[in-house]
């Protein structure tokens, strides 16, 4: 089971700089930081696939629309980018539409919100899994100040970020790109491996992985 190499001897393992640059680049591209990516490319010479340019630009815009409370525009652009993506991902589609409803309520456009809910959201209500989510959104109407309601998290930027991330991953998947970055995967691996080692050998030998501590050096 245990190889000759002692896991604590990780300091002796050699890491290639190019690998690191690739990892960072893939992270930047995943999150649409195209300007930073350009900068990194010119400094290190690491390549970025050029046909991805367009995809990155579009994804960047779509994500921004979600964060800026323009969910319908995000939906429109997504449909331009990948025609049947939202059809195949009903849950995501629903979340985006629900965001639009929330936006309308926040903007005090209750009339429009009700119309939108009746025509676009209500049909989802026939499927059991959407019913509770729909009810949560509708409940916002019962409050003068939606931010003071028990459903305030629907208005938060954290929630919008969550939906945006989900949309980003789905688009990448749809265009046959990895939906998770190598960076995320590596951190996940390390966490699990360290957990295993801790269980086998006790906390003193191998404390669980902590990113924060690693960053301190």
Partner 1 sequence: MENGLWELLGSKGLLKRHEFIRILVQCLYSLGFKKSASCLEHESNILYKSADFGLLEKQVLSGNWDSCLAVLDRIFDSSSDHTRDTALYLVLKQCLVEYLKQGDISLALNVLRKQAPLLGMGKEKIHRLACDIVYTKEMESGEADSFLVQDLRKNLLVELEKLIPLPIVIGERRLEHLVESAVLHQIDTCLYHNSWDAVSLYKDHCCGRDQIPSETVQILMAHKNEVWFVQFSNSGKYLATASSDCTAMIWKVLDDNKVELKHTLESHQNPVSFVSWSPDDTKLLTCGNAEVLKLWDVETGVLRHTFGNNNTGFTVSSCAWFPDSARLVCGSSDPERGIVMWDTDGNEIKAWRGTRIPKVVDLAVTPDGESMITVFSDKEIRILHLETKVERVISEEQPITSLSVSSDGKFFIVNLSSQEIHLWDLAGEWKQPLKFSGHRQSKYVIRSCFGGLDSSFIASGSEDSQVYLWNLKNAKPLEVLSGHSMTVNCVSWNPRNPRMLASASDDQTIRIWGPGKPNKPEKWLDNQKMQ
Candidates 23, 67, 141, 197: give the one binding partner 1 (CB under 8 A).
141
Stretch that binds partner 1, among 81-89, 137-145, 157-165, 205-213 (CB under 8 A): 137-145
Candidates 67, 81, 125, 194: give the one binding partner 1 (CB under 8 A).
125
By CB under 8 A, tell whether 127 contacts partner 1: no
Candidates 144, 148, 215, 217: give the one binding partner 1 (CB under 8 A).
144
What DSSP state is assigned to residue 82? S
How far apart, in whole angstroms, are the C-alpha atoms of residue 198 and residue 183?
A: 22
Q: Is 95 or 206 the residue whose CB approaches partner 1 more closely?
A: 95
How far apart, in whole angstroms, are the C-alpha atoms of residue 158 and residue 180?
A: 19
What tokens appear for 105 in the block?
A: 């309520």
CA 173 vs CA 78, 176, 180: distances in Å: 13, 5, 9
By CB under 8 A, tell whether 24 contacts partner 1: no
By CB under 8 A, tell whether 106 contacts partner 1: no
206: Cβ–Cβ under 8 A, 6 or more apart, which residues? 7, 194, 197, 198, 200
Given a contact cutoff of 8 angstroms between Cβ atoms, the answer to whether 140 and 151 are in contact is yes
Candidates 72, 139, 183, 187: give the one binding partner 1 (CB under 8 A).
139
Stretch that binds partner 1, among 31-39, 56-64, 68-76, 106-114 (CB under 8 A): 106-114
How far apart, in whole angstroms, are the C-alpha atoms of residue 100 and residue 92?
A: 13
By CB under 8 A, tell whether 104 contacts partner 1: no
CA 76 vs CA 54, 62, 139, 178: distances in Å: 17, 9, 27, 23
Candidates 8, 118, 185, 189: give the one binding partner 1 (CB under 8 A).
118
Q: Which residues bind partner 1 (CB under 8 A)?
A: 110-111, 114, 117-118, 121-122, 125, 134-135, 138-144, 150
């Amino acid at each position: 089971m245990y190889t000759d190499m002692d896991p604590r001897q990780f300091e002796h393992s050699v890491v290639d700089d190019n690998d690191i640059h690739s990892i960072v680049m893939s992270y930047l591209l995943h999150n649409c930081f195209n300007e930073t990516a350009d900068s990194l490319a010119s400094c290190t010479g690491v390549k970025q696939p050029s046909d991805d340019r367009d995809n990155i630009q579009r994804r960047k815009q779509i994500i921004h629309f979600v964060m800026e409370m323009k969910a319908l525009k995000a939906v429109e652009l997504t449909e331009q980018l990948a025609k049947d993506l939202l059809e195949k991902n009903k849950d995501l589609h629903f979340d985006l539409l629900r965001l639009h409803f929330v936006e309308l309520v926040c903007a005090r456009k209750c009339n429009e919100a009700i119309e939108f809910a009746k025509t676009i959201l209500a049909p989802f209500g026939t499927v059991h899994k959407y019913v509770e989510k729909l009810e949560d959104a509708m409940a916002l109407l019962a409050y003068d100040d939606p931010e003071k309601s028990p459903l305030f998290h629907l208005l938060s930027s954290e929630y919008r970020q969550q939906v945006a991330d989900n949309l980003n991953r789905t688009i990448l998947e749809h265009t046959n790109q990895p939906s998770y970055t190598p960076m995320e995967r590596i951190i996940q691996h390390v966490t699990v491996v360290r957990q295993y080692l801790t269980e086998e050998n006790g906390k003193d030998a191998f404390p669980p992985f902590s990113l924060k501590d690693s960053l301190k050096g």
